[in-house]
Amino acid sequence: MKKILLSAVALLMLFSCQNDTTEITPEANAIAKRGCASQEVLLAQMKADPKLALRMNEIEAFTQKSIASARIVNGKIQIPVVVNVLYRTTAENISLSQIRSQIDVLNKDFNATNSDFNKVPSLFSGVKANVGISFVLEAVYRKATTKTSWGTNNAMKIASQGGIAPTSPTTKMNLWACTIGGGILGYAQFPGGSSSTDGVVIDSKYLGTTGTATYPFNLGRTATHEVGHWMNLRHIWGDATCGSDFVSDTPTHNAANSGVPAYPHYSTCSGNPVEMTMNYMDYTDDRGMYMFSNGQKSRMSAVFLSGGSRASFRL
Ligand SMILES: [Zn+2]
């Protein structure tokens, strides 16, 4: 227990250090490396809610059992999406076409119809997945704010703090588009958290492929990555040196990769496997990520099974 706590603190320190580095980049608005706060937010929520770890352990046990017994959902799952836009500037009040471009990317990436899916190296062609989950834009809510940035404490989801409360979070995926700040492109809540804060948050400058979408995170992959977390995927490096993502067909990565690594990039972990840097759950630039694995598909599918933590999303 002490060890877990210590590593949690170490992780938190790691994240804050990363943020600090990002904040002192010369151009105030330029983010050089991908930053996702999902794990950091999870650790904070675990601290505030001692029962969350227990619920997540139960979800993990269910997931592993579901994978073991191969009871994978093959029927189509369609996720209704509610987008909540918080804006101070006109640029932050992103257009409907920019929002639609993001929904298009999610549909392509989760159905293996993305134009770069054929770039997956032959080494991984046996495990590249068509997840088979689709997304439908159901509503867009907009709210003016005086906040210049929202951070990662879920204020954007709380009306009394100037945010927008989620709409029907047990049957619809809520997505908040706002300025997060601190070098963070987005974050998601994992299955098991409170429904009042459930959903994904994407910085509006890194949402979709048009309008304010900013290179090198202008292909909508921040949301693909965050929705992966929302469906219970972990970072491919397991948020630790040579850590585990609880997926058997992804190689062990020694750390997060950024930019667009040259292929093959070898892991320094046991066995020196070629890293799957093109996986959506790594930290590369948008054009460097274009696949989920079959193991990740099984993990995501498990949350929608009868008895799964997101079973309420099934029609
Ligand atoms: Zn992430």
Residues with CB under 5 A from ligand 1 (ion): 36, 38
For residue 1, being part of any structural domain is answered with no
Structural domain count of the chain = 1
Q: Residue 121's pLDDT is what?
A: 98
Spell 203-216 as b/e; 16+ CB within 10 A means b. Answer: bbbbbbbbbbbbeb
Cα of 248 vs centre of ligand 1, distance in Å, is: 19
Long-range contacts of 250-254 (CB under 8 A, 24+ apart): 250/127, 250/276, 250/279, 250/281, 250/293, 250/295, 250/296, 251/275, 251/276, 253/282
Active site residue 226: yes
For residue 190, being part of any structural domain is answered with yes
Q: Which domain holds residue 137?
A: 8-314
Q: Where are the beta strands (DSSP E) in the chain?
A: 77-87, 133-144, 173-178, 186-188, 200-203
For residue 255, being part of any structural domain is answered with yes
Cα of 286 vs centre of ligand 1, distance in Å, is: 13
If 0-12 CB within 10 Å is exposed, 13-18 middle and 19+ buried, where does residue 299 land? buried
pLDDT in tens, 153-165: 999 999 999 999 9
Q: Residue 7's pLDDT is what?
A: 42
Q: Residue 76's pLDDT is what?
A: 77
Q: Residue 67's pLDDT is what?
A: 79
Cα of 229 vs centre of ligand 1, distance in Å, is: 7
For residue 44, being part of any structural domain is answered with yes
Q: What are phi and psi of 91, to 5 degrees?
A: -60, -40
State the helix-helix crossing angle for 2-23 and 38-48, rounded to 10 degrees: 140
Cα of 7 vs centre of ligand 1, distance in Å, is: 18
For residue 102, being part of any structural domain is answered with yes
Instruction: Please tell me the pTM assigned to this model.
Output: 0.89
Q: What is the CATH number of the domain that holds 82?
A: 3.40.390.10
Cα of 235 vs centre of ligand 1, distance in Å, is: 6
Q: Residue 30's pLDDT is what?
A: 75
For residue 158, being part of any structural domain is answered with yes
Ranges of the chain with pLDDT below 50: 1-28, 71-72
Q: Residue 215's pLDDT is what?
A: 98
For residue 93, being part of any structural domain is answered with yes
Cα of 137 vs centre of ligand 1, distance in Å, is: 23
Handedness of CA 179, 180, 183, 185 (dihedral sign): negative
Q: Which of 40, 92, 226, 275 is catalytic?
A: 226
What is the torsion angle, in degrees rounded to the nearest 10, for the CA atoms of residue 90, residue 91, residue 96 and residue 102?
-160
Q: Residue 75's pLDDT is what?
A: 62
Helix, strand, coil fractions of the chain, as percent rounded to 5? 35, 15, 50
**How far apart (Å, rounded) are the C-alpha atoms in residues 78 and 152?**
28
For residue 38, being part of any structural domain is answered with yes
DSSP state of 253: P
Q: In the structure encoding, which two tokens stand for residue 139, read together?
A: 């509503």
